[in-house]
Amino acid sequence: MSTNTGVACKCNTCAGPQWYDEGVCQGCRTSQEIEFTWVAGSEKGGSPRAAPAKKLCLEPDTCKQLVEVWTDAVLVRALTPHVTSGGRVPPGQTTVSYSSPADGWYVKRGVAVAVKLNVPSGQGFADKLNRAGGWTNQSLLVRVMATFEAVAGDRDIRDFRLPNKPGMREFHHARRLRNKIAHGKPLTDQRLVHEAQELLGAKTVENGTCTLDIALVLEPLWARLLLYARSLEKGLVVPARPAVVVTEPDDTGFDVQTFGGMKTVPSTGVPADIGDVISLPA
């Protein structure tokens, strides 16, 4: 018997709406014949309610907005690096300085900072800094999902059919994460945990809780949502073997995020900016 996952699908193999979860139709346990999904409540008997009439189509510049959201978040997050919890400012010291490592993750993404903060001496600074970084990570997810809804006419996402294209599954995962964050609930739901591991790898879950690590979780999730948005934005197409540029190009090349993970693309001399969507060489 199907379990109510909160997401339904239109599957050409099955009669009527079916529940959707773990990338497959729960009626026939396949994904090949799914046309679209939607966020659904339950009718009596546990079957999903009928699909909305409208297909999600995004307005021009949606992808541009998603790139701006990402680059802003990376900059702000670089100002709040993770530090050892419980750290103490030495007695009598009122400033703390830190900078981006020369070969660090942020520098490769075009952000090199040197920060000097005036802080009260004593314990607690490191915990406050880490909370601020965590808040920034959460805010990124909230802002990304709000962008989808805003460019869909400020309509609730439950009003739309979501086409079954690469990134749809990640969309539902990000939506569930956003909903938990918005209500202040822990990210320990077993469906969330399983999806995080299936989509993004085992390291994205620690002690039974989904992490929001910017490198392991947020960057690949954002890149896949950007590709999904591109498939829905008016006037845009997704190239063959799509990838999203995530690092500044250098003499050797640059890194990209794909549905198969991060890859390095050799430099070809063609300009590539962070957020650009390219087709991987065959």
Summarize pLDDT for 212-238 with one digit per residue, the tens.
999 999 999 999 999 999 999 999 999
Domain boundary pick from 136, 154, 172: 136
- In this structure, what token pair is assigned to residue 240? 């063959």
Asked if the structure places residue 256 within a domain, the reply is: yes
Torsion of CA 230, 235, 241, 244, to 10 degrees: -40
Asked if the structure places residue 93 within a domain, the reply is: yes
Asked if the structure places residue 155 within a domain, the reply is: no
Q: How many domains does the chain fold into? A: 3
Asked if the structure places residue 17 within a domain, the reply is: yes
Summarize pLDDT for 56-87 with one digit per residue, the tens.
999 899 999 999 999 999 999 988 877 764 55
**Residue 40: Cβ-neighbour burial (10 angstroms; 0-12, 13-18, 19+):** buried
Q: Let me know whether 6 and 44 are in one domain.
A: yes
Asked if the structure places residue 34 within a domain, the reply is: yes
Q: Let me know whether 127 and 88 are in one domain.
A: yes
Domain boundary pick from 103, 136, 169: 136
Which amino acid, 60?
A: P
Distance, in Å, from the CA atom of 130 to the CA atom of 107, rounded to the nearest integer, reads 20
Q: What's the domain range around 247?
A: 242-279
> Residue 149 — very low, low, confident or very high, per pLDDT cuts 50/70/90?
confident
Asked if the structure places residue 72 within a domain, the reply is: no
Domain boundary pick from 99, 118, 136: 136
Under DSSP, is residue 109 helix (H, G, I), strand (E, B) or coil?
Answer: coil
Asked if the structure places residue 272 within a domain, the reply is: yes
Asked if the structure places residue 197 within a domain, the reply is: no
pTM for the full predicted model: 0.92
Across the chain, how many H-helices and E-strands are there?
A: 6, 16
